[in-house]
Structure 1
Amino acid sequence: MNDSILRPREVAERLGVKKDCLYKWVRKGLLAPPIKITSRTTGWRASYIEAFISERESKVAA
């Protein structure tokens, strides 16, 4: 599995939401906070985002 770091714009595109929504989900505890890469750069591991999508799909199917 590719475990690269996805920047917020990439995560938002993959999930089909706006970047603001990502941070709202973080505040609500629905999405883990991003990893701090540098003082001004954050992102999420690709494996975490894929697991997040799979978990959501399984909840919808149930």
Structure 2
Amino acid sequence: MNDSILRPREAAARLGVQKACLYKWVRKGLMLPPIKIGPRTSGWRASYIESFIAQREAQGSAA
């Protein structure tokens, strides 16, 4: 399984939000912080983003 790292722009696009929204969710504790890859590089695992989406879908259908 190729669990690539999605940079903030890619993760935001997959979630359909702006990058600023990702970091707001992190500050609020709704989302895990990104993985630090290098001194100025970070991102989220693709599997985490997909599970985040699935979790939100499940919460939406339960309401």
Using the size of structure 1 for normalisation, the TM-score is 0.96
Counterpart of 1:40 in structure 2 is 40
User: How many residues in Structure 1 have an aligned counterpart in Structure 2?
Assistant: 62
In structure 2, distance between residues paired with 1:28 and 1:2: 29
In structure 2, distance between residues paired with 1:52 and 1:25: 12
In structure 2, distance between residues paired with 1:18 and 1:2: 25
Q: Secondary structure at the match of 2:32?
A: coil
Structure 1: which 5+ residue stretches go unaligned?
none
Alpha-carbon deviation of 1:2?
Answer: 3.5
Alpha-carbon deviation of 1:27?
Answer: 0.1
The root-mean-square deviation of aligned C-alpha atoms, in Å, is: 0.8
In structure 2, distance between residues paired with 1:16 and 1:4: 19
Q: Does 1:61 align with 2:55?
A: no
Alpha-carbon deviation of 1:50?
Answer: 0.4
Structure 2: which 5+ residue stretches go unaligned?
none
Instruction: Within 5 Å, give how 1:1-62 maps onto structure 2.
Output: 1-62=1-62
Amino acid at match of 2:26: V
Using the size of structure 2 for normalisation, the TM-score is 0.95
Identity %: 74
Check whether the contact 1:2–1:47 (CA below 8 A) recurs between aligned residues.
no
